[in-house]
Structures are given as structure tokens and as C-alpha cells.
Structure 1
Amino acid sequence: NWQRRPETAPLLITVAAHPPPPSPPRRRSISSHIYRASPPPELAHRVLLLNLPLRLLLVVDRERSSAREEATAPGFLLLLLLLVGSQGILRFGGAKRRNGGGGSSITGRRSSSFSRKVLERRRRRRIKHRTDGPTGAALPSRRRPRLLFRATKFGSTFCSEDTTKRRASKSKSFKDAENFEVLVLEKSCGCKFKSLRILLIAIISATVLTLVTPTLYERQLQSASRYVDVGWMWDRASSDPRYASSADVGWEDVYKALGNLRSGNNRQSHLRVGLLNFNSTEYGSWTQLLPADSHVISTVRLEHAKDSVTWQTLYPEWIDEEEETEIPSCPSLPEPNVPRGARFDVVAVKLPCTRVAGWSRDVARLHLQLSAAKLAVASSKRNHDVHVLFVTDCFPIPNLFPCKNLVTREGSAWLYSPDSKALREKLRLPVGSCELAVPLKAKSRLFSVDRRREAYATILHSASEYVCGAISAAQSIRQAGSTRDLVILVDETISDHHRRGLEAAGWKVRVIQRIRNPKAERDAYNEWNYSKFRLWQLTDYDKVIFIDADLLILRNVDFLFAMPEIAATGNNATLFNSGVMVVEPSNCTFRLLMDHIDEITSYNGGDQGYLNEIFTWWHRVPRHMNFLKHFWEGDSEAMKAKKTQLFGADPPVLYVLHYLGLKPWLCFRDYDCNWNNAGMREFASDVAHARWWKVHDRMPRKLQSYCLLRSRQKARLEWDRRQAEKANSQDGHWRLNVTDTRLKTCFEKFCFWESMLWHWGENSNRTKSVPMAATTARS
């Protein structure tokens, strides 16, 4: 392969004839025995060694080039063929020598005295040979001069096998002529001057043609070759550290993993393997692992992503979802370059894995896995399974290559048999959250087919206060028109009384064992929130939309069941909000979550931070489908007015309204009690508060009874109101007269909540909650 500028590349041709060493076995052909070796870094040499009878060694010295798609110039091939053909002339000369043939001598700077001495010496040698005969005196021990061809100042020798047994005399005149000469032995080699002159002209012409011929750029793989683009891999080696993997390939593990394709129902004796991100040395190991006589090994070209493409550009914190000022778009990642019609049985990819913080948010890893998925989809067809083999120490993207498609894992070798249909649908999604995966203003929505295998799900653990929220959430789903199953996971802290209320609201109650967050403090709010991982054990469903128990479904979102895992709204930075998300239950995904529970640290100490470390490749849905009741510090008055309008729009504009801060059922219905707490006012909205109570009022009275205020909560609300009054809060909500009838309703044994205020500031943090009665009571 030549440089992009061949005129700057010096050419060094060394032609050496010597007997082939006895150790290597004889080769039957030239094309199938090409040895390649990666040159040392201090040299930019490309060595091509052909096992010809004369062992021609061609060395091309060139500069390092950034060009990645080069092909051999035709002049070089012509030169190679001419040099191979010269063997016939030499053999003919050797025969003439044995029969006493003649010849001539030509030198670049001829010396007449030197020629006469040489001719005289040869004449005497012939006379002695004829006089002594084969059985006479022994022949002189001096070896005969070699056939010498020199191009430029780098000299090299070329002679027949017979001439190597003798040595020519080293006269001074001979050394003077050594700079540039072609010496044809008149009797010993027997080559005619006319034949050698033609050969010399042909070699010079081929050399000039090689230097002036422009480099050919090959845009497609040569699918007919069993060894494709090895030189290209050399050029790309370590050119981009983002794609480099320092891990050693466990070839025994790779062989064991591929063994699953050579046994059982998946038996394949002839594999077509496409290699991605393997270097030249590893390519050679692949050819030894899978012999060329029964398998086809090909490399796939893949341009690296631009340095400007970072994880932050793929997953921005905010995009213009309403397209008011611009249409969001994602940066493009280069596509794998394969010839039309090329198909693979196995796509093998070597993935980098740094094992440092944030290793899963890596553009190169994502690019390589998306490229592998595209190759698998392009090669798939009816009744033809394409397997993907990852060589990495870190697990691949679990929602792109789910573990339910994992055939086997042997050390660092992960062999998958992906569902081509599901994989094709995932590849249609944006590469990141830089674009919406679900259009906000779509004229029509896609809906899934098998509704029996889909469900809404939520979870309650260690907090009976959220029972009312779960009941109202279930009612809002039904009021929005959905008929999907409703599944709620509860632990042993949820009483039978509350379970009956959940069932009455439409939930299918399933009791689970809580999962403790190993990094949480004892009795902290996040101590048991890893129990959400139990969602992946709902394997009787193919898709589950998880919803928090503190939100309302205002419009039907059944179309989200057509989305893959993980579909969610953005939260902050590159993260998603786990309050509403699409998951695909799988026991092996649950084991994946549990296997790394001690290793991965959540950024916020909760389940949301942990899930964001596992599922870094997520798909953005409009924030209208999980709209947070929150006024950010930087929101302008116009933005606050817009949010307030969305909260109260009728018919509703938002799909899901997520209540942050103090929950509506834990406040008086007269106003949002977040106003009375200085640290919670960013979550206060009377309009959103009234929206929740509209849903509450449409519930049956039996279900409303699960939303009564406990005595301790009544005392807390009155305490916050008095604190706001003392601080003379400007919003003035503390002045409003409370008319909530729940204030006079009691279902507990202790109902004198006003007495709690006598020492509230002293022991409120240590006061235990009053036990809840099994049945309701009114006073």
C-alpha cells in the first residue's frame, strides 16, 4: 500500500536469491500464504514476504499516513510478476553454463582493463576445465562471481544456486564497479545480453509506473477474499484511544463460546465472521482459530466518531421538545462500511472497558455496539440467526443486547443471539436523548398488539402514607381510558386493611421481600428503595410501565407500551427520571442489577441514580408524559405562568402530572401546604393541588376513606401554618380558613391532635407514629 503522495515515498527494492531454508513446509500457492507482521513503532515499514522458490523480499519504506483506505498500485503487481518471471532466464543461463555457453558483461561505468582481465581469467579457467576434465585435478576453490543487480545506493545480490558455491575474486577494479552494475557471467551463468537488457528495461519501467501511479482508494470490502483489509487495521491501530482496548483476548474463551454454534440445533460448520475493532495481531489469531479452508474471516470498516461528539451532546439536559425555537437533532455516528449483499453468521466486536467512574457513558462503546447491531440486522434473514460476540470485561448495554438473548458467557466472551425484529426497532430510535423518541405532537400513536402481556406497575414499601396516592393513581388510569392490568408490589409493612383498599382500586397486589440499599444509613428514607428492582421479576408481562404512587394519569399513555426499555423523561444532566419508565421484565436483568449492588454507587443514593448507571442508553419521551410539579429557581414569571396553565388545562394538555414535595392527600384540600414551608415552596401550586382533588372526588367514598388524615399529620400541618404566620409569609396562605372535613374525622384511637402541639418543637423528631387501627372510626 502506497502513501497518499507516492512521489514522496522512497522505494527500496532488494532482490535476493538463495536456497529456501529447510524448516518451513513447502507451500502450494502464493496467494494463500501471505505473512504479515506489525512493524516496530520506530519504523514505518510494511513487509510483505512471499514464499517463492527464490524467496523474493520486497520492502517498501513509506511515511505514516492518515489514509485508511488504500490499495496496491498496479505497477507494483507488474513489477512482482516480472521478477518472478526472471527465474526462467536464470535457469536457462544455468543450463548454458553447464554446456559451455557464452555471454557478455555490462557495467554502469565500464572499465576496459577490468573486462579484459575477467575474460582472460575465464578463458584460462575453460582451458583448465577441458584439460583436467571431471576426473582430473580439482577445480579452483574460488567461487564464481554472482549475478549482481543494484538499484540506488542500497545494493543487493541476485544469482543462481550454482554460483553460490564459489566466491569471485575481490579485485580493486571489481570494487570500483560495484556502485551500479549488472554482471552477466559469460560461461558460468550463460544469460544473453539481449534478454537481460529487456529484463532491465521492464524492471525500470515497472518501477517508474509504480511511483507515478496514483493511489487507489477502495471504498468497499473485497468480499471474495478470505483475508480482508489487514493493512487498513494496521493503519488504524491505536489511532483513537477511545476505541482502544487494553484487555487481552481470551482465545480459549472465544473458542468455547463459538463452540455453541458448532453443536446442537445451531450447528454451523462454515462460519462467516465479521471483525470489528480488532487489531492486526488479533486478526491473525482469528485466522488460526477458524481456519480459512472452512471459514471466512472479514474485517469491517468503521470510521471513528468525531471528538466533538461527547456523551453530553448525545444526552443534553434540555431540548426544545415543543420545537418553539429549533428542531432538536442528534449528531451522527459513522455507519459500518460493508459491501452490498455481504452477510455474516457472527459479528465479533472488541469493546473498550476502562472500569473507572462513568465507564458505561462512553461514546466509543455505544458506537461499536450500535454498529454491531446494524451488522446483525443487515445480515439477518428468514431462518438465519446472526450471533453477536462481544469481547469485553464489562457487560454490554443491557437494553440493547438484553441478557435474555445471551447464549453463553465464557470469561470475557459474551455470545448473543439477538431478536432481529426487536433490534431493528431499537435502531430506528435516536442515538441518544438529543431527540424525542416519541413525538409530542404526533398525529397518530403506535400501539402494541398483545395487551394481555402489558401492565402498569408501582411499588409500596415501608410507607403506608402512599396508599392513598396509589389508589388515586389507579383511578386516574381508569378514568383516562386504559384497560391494562394494574400490578402493585407491596412488602410486609403494608397491612391487610390497606391491601384490601388497593385491590378495591383495581391493583393486583403482590407481596415481595424488600431489598436493602447497602449504601444507605439505617432508617433512612432510601434504605429500602432498591426494592424497585423487583419490577424486573414480573416476567408474566413483556412490557411494564412503572409509575410512582405520587402522580396522576391525565391522558391515556398506553402508546408507551410500544417503546423499548428504557423510555423515560429527562431529569437533569444526562440522567432520566425513573418516576415513569418503560421496562422489560427479565430474571437475568434482575440478577444483573443485584450482582452490581455493592459495586455501583448511586449519585443520589436512591434507585434512580443506580438505574441511571446501568441503563445509560435510554430514550427520551416528552416531559408532558411525566411533568414535574416543580418551579425551578431560574424559571421566569412567564414560565411559571405557562406551567400553571398546563396544570389546570381542561381538557388536559399534560399526560402525567408528578407531585413533588408534600403530597396533596397529606395536605388540607383548601390549598397546597407546601406554601407554609420555606424549603418546599418551589413545589407549591394551588392549581395542581386542585387537579388532584378533582380525581379524588370522583372516587367511590369507600376508596376516599383511605385518604383520611392521621392525627399526627393534622398536628404537623397546623404547626407549619403557625410557623408561616410567625414568619409573616408573603404568599398569605396561612391566613386562609381551613374547611377540610377530614380535620374533624378520626379513624385512630387517639384523636386529640391539638395536644401534640404543646411540645411539638421539642419531641416531634422523636415521636413515634400512632398505630393505625385495623378498621375506620369516625368522631
Structure 2
Amino acid sequence: MADQAFVTLATNDSYAKGAMVLGESLRNHKTTKKLVALIGPHVTEPSRAVLNKIYDEVRVVDVLDSGDTAHLVMMKRPDLGVTFTKLHCWALTQYSKCVFMDADTMVVSNVDELFDREELSAAPDPGWPDCFNSGVFVFRPSDETYNKLLRFCAEHGSFDGGDQGVLNSFFSDWATADITKHLPFIYNLSSVAIYTYTPAFKQYGGNAKVVHFLGKTKPWGYTFDPKQRRIRGDVQEASAHPSFLLEWWTIYSSLVVPMLQQEYGDQPFLSGCEEDLSYSTQNASPLLSSQERKQKWEQGQADYMGIDSFDNIQKRLDAFLK
């Protein structure tokens, strides 16, 4: 239906990469719904351009400068900025029903059947199953609900400092009122929770429809060798089932990176793919001797976008420490 949409949020270029993979995964699995991306003002033009190729609608949201009800509420609770940004999804009133998905999720099967559910349908959080995880949820956009949420947020804050605390407090009867609003775990399979009940994952994990890359290190925090299809980094930290992480990188390297390269043109950027890292560190600027580089550093002329970028320095440190 034209008035139903999957919605995600990216506040910076890193999460924009996640949103790009999420959008491509939804397209790959033949969704019939619209795709909407809410983005923060810090998302750069190349990332916005790629998102516009994948999503039907890309909307910039910045509640601090919006001048609407959210702006007035934010004056009382500026600490909840990111939370307020996510609540903007209820303002998408051109749609009758939506499914929100965090930018660090990926679908591995068609999930259009989620639109048969009602607000607020979500899967239990593995850390406290009487709370729902706000990484995937079904909702109905509504100006009334939006304004109620903003006021609730301002008056009560969030017990966990983020949107999940606010939403669980607002939809406080989720745990007890209507079991049909409890999504099966396969719609929000938390990658870091897999190993907490390994037998269950072995039994049911093959039915997973949505993977949620919870945890400190997100998929885009690793590097990837496309030729050998190998991920560099502590994969176990992100997932006890690395094939999900490999699938994320396969989509990113084959579908997203070419679009980013087209948008950046001759301007170097770090995609996270090792062959591109090699290119950016060797060809983005003329090769200098160690002495010449030292002199440029001393003169405050380090090549921050190329060989002297933070990511490249970090990789050298990691290699040295290993």
C-alpha cells in the first residue's frame, strides 16, 4: 500500500551507511512498502544523495532548530535530543501505518507481514523481556500521539536515557495488555544475545527475519576484504553468528560502495573495504618520505583526509599492538 512505509533514522554518516544497507536489504527481499529515512543535519551531501537513490523519501529532522512543539519541549530537556529525533517518526502523518527499524538492523527475509500488526507491536528486549526493544516496532503516525510523546518525554524523561525508556514508559501496558503486540524474536534478533541461549539459536535462528547489530561495535566499524570475503576485527564481539555480519558487508561492498564512490567522485573517502583503504592511503596524495611527512606534521599540515587520517593511524596502531 502506498500509505505504508518502513522508517529509519540516521544522525550521522556512519549510521547512514547502516540505513543504506537496511534499505537495500528491504529492496532485495521485495518489499512492497515505501521506504523513508529520517536524517540529522550532520549527514553529508554524498550520503544524502545515496540515501535518496535507495529511499522513497529522505527527510532532514533537527528538533533543536525546528521551531515546532518539539523545539519548545527541548528547551526543558536538551539532554534527550537523539530521543526526540526518533520520535519524529510519529509526525509522518501522510502514512497510515509504519514499521520503524533502527539503522543497525538488516532484513534477511521479507517482513511486509509486520503491517498486519497494530501499534505498538515490538519484540521483547533480551536484557529485560517485560520491556520491548525499540529497534523494530509497528506504529501509526499521528499528530496527537506525537505531541503526547513529546510532552511525556519532557515531563518524565527516560529511565535509560534514550528512546527505549521513553517508549516503554509511554506504552506501559505492552507487557500485559495484548499478546498479539509481542513480535516473535525472529523480527528483532539481537546479534549480541545469540550466545546467551545457544540451543535456542540453533533450533530457531534459521528462521530469523531481522538481525539487530546491538553492541559497541557496529558492522561499519570493521574492515572487509571483498576478494577474500573476510572481515577484519573481533567478529565475536558483534555476533556469535558471523554470517549475518558477512551478509551486511556483502550488501554494503557490492551495492552501496559503488554509489558512494560515484557521489564522492575524485574526493577520497574511506569505505572500509581494504582495497579502497589501500587506494586512499597510497593514491589520494603524493607519496612522501618519512622525513617529509614529519616536517608536514610539525608544520600542522598532516594529510588528515588521506594517509594521516584517524582511521589509518588507528589501523597502524592496531597492527603494531597485535
**How far apart are residue 569 of structure 1 and its match?**
0.3
Q: Does 1:604 align with 2:160?
A: yes
Q: Which of 146, 168, 171 pairs up with 1:590?
A: 146
1:656 aligned to 2:210? Answer: yes
Q: Say if 2:119 is the partner of 1:565.
A: yes
Partner of 1:452: 2
Alpha-carbon spacing, 1:555–1:613, altered in 2? closer, same or farther (3 Å): same
1:578 aligned partner, one-letter code? S
Q: TM-score when scaled to structure 2?
A: 0.72
Per the TM alignment, residue 480 of structure 1 is displaced from its structure 2 partner at its CA by 0.6
**CA offsets 1:662-715 (integer angstroms, 9 cap, x no match):** 12222112236244xxxx83645422211212323552653354899966x97x
Change in 2 beyond 3 A, CA 1:709/1:656: farther
Q: Specify which structure has the higher proportion of strand.
A: 2
Q: Quick check: 2:119–2:139 contact (8 Å CA) kept in 1?
A: yes
Aligned residues: 269
- What are the Cα deviations for residues 81-110 of structure 1, in whole angstroms up to 9, with x where unaligned? xxxxxxxxxxxxxxxxxxxxxxxxxxxxxx
Corresponding letter in the other structure for 2:252? H
- Which amino acid in 2 is paired with 1:627? L
Q: What is the Cα deviation at residue 456 of structure 1?
A: 0.8
Amino acid in structure 1 at the alignment position of 2:251: V
**Structure 2: which amino acid aligns with 1:536?**
W
Unaligned runs of 5+ in 2: 65-73, 175-180, 225-229, 285-303
Between Structure 1 and Structure 2, the one with more helix by share is 2
Gaps of 5+ in 1: 1-450, 715-738, 762-779
For 1:685 and 1:553, locate their aligned partners in 2 and report how far apart those are by CA, in whole Å. Answer: 15
User: In structure 2, how many angstroms separate the alpha carbons of the residues matched to 1:473 and 1:752?
Assistant: 31
* Structure 1 counterpart of 2:109: 555
SS at structure 2 position matched to 1:630: helix
Higher relative contact order (CA 8 A, sep 6+): 2
Please give the residue correspondences for 1:411-450 in structure 2 after superposition, counting only pairs within 5 Å: none
For 1:543 and 1:577, the matched residues in 2 are separated by 19
Residue in 2 aligned with 1:666? 221
Taking structure 1 as the reference length, the TM-score comes to: 0.32
Residue of structure 1 in register with 2:313 after alignment: 756
Deviation per CA, 1:569-603, whole angstroms, max 9, x where unpaired? 01124111111111101111111011122221322
User: Following the alignment from structure 2 to structure 1, what is the Cα–Cα distance between the partners of residues 214 and 248?
Assistant: 13
Instruction: Say if 2:71 is the partner of 1:511.
Output: no
What amino acid does structure 2 have at the position aligned with 1:534? H
SS for the counterpart of 2:48 is helix
Q: Distance in 2 between matches of 1:683 and 1:697?
A: 19
Distance of aligned partners of 1:684 and 1:505 in 2 relative to their CA distance in 1, 3 Å threshold: same
Amino acid at match of 1:472: V
Identity of aligned residues (%): 25
1:527 offset after TM fit, Å? 4.2
For residue 4 of structure 2, what is the amino acid of its counterpart?
A: E
Are the structure 2 counterparts of residues 760 and 655 from structure 1 closer, same or farther at C-alpha, using a change threshold of 3 Å?
same
Superposed, 1:128-143 pairs within 5 Å as: none
TM-superposition CA deviations, 1:233-267 (whole Å, max 9, x none): xxxxxxxxxxxxxxxxxxxxxxxxxxxxxxxxxxx
The 1:658/1:700 distance shift into structure 2, 3 A limit, reads closer
- On the 8 A contact 2:91/2:143 being kept in 1, the answer is yes
Residues 214-236 of structure 1 show CA distances to partners (whole Å, capped at 9, x for unaligned) of xxxxxxxxxxxxxxxxxxxxxxx
Q: What residue number does 1:576 align with?
A: 132
1:689 aligns to what?
245
Please tell me the residue identity of whatever aligns with 1:658: H
Alpha-carbon separation, structure 1, partners of 2:158 and 2:31: 34
What is the CA distance between 1:654 and its match in structure 2?
1.4
1:528 corresponds to which of 79, 82, 91: 82
Q: Which amino acid in structure 2 is aligned with residue 493 of structure 1?
A: H
**Structure possessing the higher radius of gyration over alpha carbons:** 1
SS across alignment from 2:154: coil
For the structure 1 residues 638 and 702, does the alpha-carbon distance in structure 2 shift closer, same or farther, using more than 3 Å as the test? same
Residues 574, 520 of structure 1: alpha-carbon distance in 2 compared, 3 angstrom cutoff: farther
Indicate the SS of the match to 2:307.
coil
2:190 paired residue number: 628
Matches within 5 A, 1:735-774: 740-746=274-280, 749-753=305-309, 756=313
Shift of the 520–637 alpha-carbon distance from structure 1 to 2, 3 Å rule, reads: same
